[in-house]
Chains A and B, each alone.
Chain A
Amino acid sequence: MTGLMGLLSALAVLPLLLIFGYLVLKGASSLNLDFFLSNPVPAGQTGGGVAHAIVGSGIIVGLAALIGLPVGIGAGIFLAEYGSGRLGWTVRFVADVLNGTPSIIIGIFAWTWIVRPQGHFSGLAGAIALAVILIPLVARTTEEMVRLVPHPLREAALALGYPRWRTSLTIVVRTALAGIVTGALVGVARVAGETAPLLFTALGNLNFSAHVNEPMQALPLQIYVYATGPFPEWHRLAWAASLVLILLVFGLALVARRVAANRYGAR
């Protein structure tokens, strides 16, 4: 039975190896300086790169982190520190419900709230959509991490005459910082790969644009367009862009794991 379990477990992770293998096989050969530094060429021609999408993804995800992380982390600290009452229960439950909400729905929500009133698609709208996904995610991981801090630490600080807010911020949250950073990185890695919420917000852009008030390209959007398009050249670029995206996401996940391991040791 142990053998069967092991076999099935291996079968479960087999797709990961297959996916990663194909990405390297089909994408690695297209990764050159041109790919990273140039913008797309007209459809049908060969060459071109995804510089615009890499920059766009960076801006959109960066903005999303800037908006989402403070709110999410703050809400998480609230849940851990003051969240034992009815309000805490509600916020916790709402966070879990939002975490389970399909990202495409967050996308049309951002469209009605930002794109429709403004009258145009924008990178900013995409960033806000991603921030909405990030907030509940980070709130829950932050809460878990702050809860791990041993209670005597807090008592010691209070006994030394620290006010509660300083105890909470400089002792409790400080102790949990590595865990909070881990949660934040994992959250950012997850939204960096999101496509659906960007479809009707950032929209995509075939040209280079760094204006947050204009339609902006992002790596996942570009992959979607290239993968579903008719040209073999596009497919080649889609594989390469996917390899870049997945390396980025895995990189963030690895850094997150490092941060956590340094603090808590093996888990």
Chain B
Amino acid sequence: MATGVGAAPATGADAARRMTRGTNPADRTYQAVLTGLALLLPALLLALIVELAVNARPTIERFGWGFVFNSTWDPVADVYGAGPLIFGTLASSFVALLLAVPLAFSVAIFLSEFAPHWLRRPLGFLVELLAAVPSVVYGLWGIFVLIPLLRTFVVPPLKAAFGWLPFFQGVFYGNSMMAGGIILAVMVVPYIAAVSREVLHAVPSSQREAALALGATRWEAVWMAVLPYGRAGLVGAVMLGLGRALGETMAVTMVIGNRHDISLSLLQPGYTMAAAIANEFSEATTSLYLSALFEVGLALFVITVLVNAAARLLVWRTAPGRAVGSRAL
């Protein structure tokens, strides 16, 4: 039996649980059908990669690596550079994580260590619902509630206090990197919280008990025993949230401003890779334009796959074989 990182824990019970090969035709058929269905998944992934790569080829050949660094995006002149898109994707996700990680970890720690038992289920359910809100509803809320709130209550004091920083330069029109980052933060909190909670659950209670026996308070036990034990898994949880944030489309498209610009200021509009595809795909009139969007898609795909793969391997270190992220709390 395979002993790869992601394989199910190879305990005795698990080895026995595995179905042995059947000898009669019906058993064979059953296994063959299931195997066939399962093989569809790798086939899908392969098809996805091939399709993206083939369609992106014209721009890859035309612009090479310049595509990634160039910041000109001019469909009229048929010149494409995805620099601002990549910058915007990374920047909005970074802002989102900055806001989301403390909140998500608090939820996870509170739910698994401190919350009174009667509170755990309802609170967990609320966080689960937060993950279930459709992206487009977040976008709607962002346009009509969040942005006006930011304009009236958040941006003026921020500008007054930190207006000298490069992050708060320029006039705030509403659609901006800041709005995109905050919406993303709200959206990834439930994912990071759910996976972190799974990770904390997987920490053996002997760790807590040992710390408590040494005279640690409950908080010290969490801080000095539980969190370090689950460190790899928690980093994985954050990366999983990052993967979500990088690829999130609708809500971001609706509030980030959609301008091919690189600006350090959070108050200025930005653009992300996913948003560019959503906005421009149906307007792509030349084949090179379309190919450029496919290359943006390919780049986004490669980045999310790398981030997700790393996240999974990290989470599996603490909580082996868990289906991380596919199930909320």
* A interface with B by C-beta (< 8 Å): 1-2, 4-6, 8-9, 11-13, 15-16, 18-19, 22-23, 26, 70-71, 74-75, 77-79, 81-106, 108-109, 111-113, 132, 135-137, 139-141, 143-144, 147, 151, 154, 163-165, 168-169, 183, 186, 189-190, 192-196, 199-200, 220, 223-224, 227-228, 235, 238-239, 242, 245-246, 249-250, 253, 257, 266
* Bound Cα distance A85, B132 (Å): 34
Contacts of B127 in A (CB 8 A): 12-13
Asked whether, in the complex, the Cβ of A249 is within 8 Å of the Cβ of B278, the reply is: no
Interface string of B25-49 (1 = CB under 8 A from A): 0110111011101111110110110
8 Å CB contact of A15 from B6, B31, B134, B186: B186
Structural contact, B37 and A239, CB atoms closer than 8 A: no
A102 to B135, CA, bound (A): 12
Q: Is the CB of A135 within 8 A of B132?
A: no
Q: Does B133 contact A (CB under 8 A)?
A: yes
Q: Measured between alpha carbons, how far is A22 from B277 in the docked complex, in Å?
A: 30
Contact for B139 among A100, A108, A140, A224, CB less than 8 A:
A224
Name B192's closest neighbour in chain A (CB-CB).
A12
Cβ of B167 under 8 Å from chain A? no
Which chain B residues border A223 with CB–CB below 8 Å?
136-137, 140
Q: Which of A77, A108, A112 contacts B34 (CB 8 A)?
A: A77
Query: Residues of B contacting A92 with CB < 8 Å?
Result: 6, 321
Alpha-carbon distance between A195 and B16 when the two chains are bound, in angstroms: 44
* Residue in contact with B110 in the complex, picked from A9, A183, A249, A266, CB distance below 8 Å: A9
Question: What class of interface size applies to chain B in its complex with A?
Answer: 35 or more
Residues of chain A within 8 A (CB-CB) of B249 are: 102-104, 195-196
How would you classify the secondary structure of chain A's contact residues: helix, strand, loop or mixed?
helix
Given A9-B106, A9-B107: A224 in contact with B41 (beta carbons within 8 A): no
Of all chain B residues, the one with the shortest Cβ separation from A92 is B6
The smallest C-beta distance from B94 to any residue of chain A, in angstroms, reads 17
Contact with A along B296-308 (1 / 0, CB 8 A): 0100110011011
Candidates B102, B134, B321, B328; contact of A249 at CB < 8 Å: B134
Chain B nearest CB from A14 CB (Å) reads 9
A190→B187 CA distance, assembly (Å): 14
Q: In the docked arrangement, what's the CA distance between A196 and B136, Å?
A: 9
Contact B38 A227 (CB under 8 A): no
> CA of A169 to CA of B33 in the docked complex: distance in angstroms?
13
Known contacts being A12-B104, A168-B19, A195-B135, is A102 close to B246, with CB within 8 Å? yes
Could you tell me the distance between the alpha carbons of A79 and B328 in the complex, rounded to whole angstroms? 20
In angstroms, Cα B327 to Cα A75, docked, is 17
CB closest residue in chain A, given B247: A102
Chain B residue at smallest Cβ distance from A10: B123
- Assess whether A87 is in contact with B38, with CB atoms less than 8 Å apart: yes
- With A and B bound together, what is the CA distance between A224 and B324 in angstroms? 30
B34 near A81 with CB under 8 A, answer: yes
The interface stretch among B7-15, B71-79, B207-215 is B7-15
A171–B19 Cα gap in the complex (Å)?
Answer: 13
In whole angstroms, what is the CA distance A263 to B118 when docked?
20
Say whether B305 contacts A97, CB under 8 Å.
yes
In the complex, A12→B38 CA distance in Å?
37
Asked if A82 meets B35 with Cβ closer than 8 Å, knowing A99-B326, A108-B297, the reply is yes
Chain A residue numbers with a CB within 8 Å of B281 are: 108, 111, 199-200
B179 interface hit (Cβ, 8 Å): no
Q: Report the bound CA distance from A59 to B76 in whole Å.
A: 39
Is B138 an interface residue, CB under 8 A from the partner?
yes
Kindly specify which of B141-149, B156-164, B260-268 makes contact with the partner chain.
B141-149
Q: Would you call A151 and B17 a contact (CB within 8 A)?
A: yes
- List of B residues within 8 angstroms of A224 by Cβ: 136, 139, 250, 254
Contact A89 B2 (CB under 8 A): yes
User: Judging by beta carbons under 8 Å apart, are B327 and A141 in contact?
Assistant: yes
B-side contacts of A189, CB under 8 Å = 132
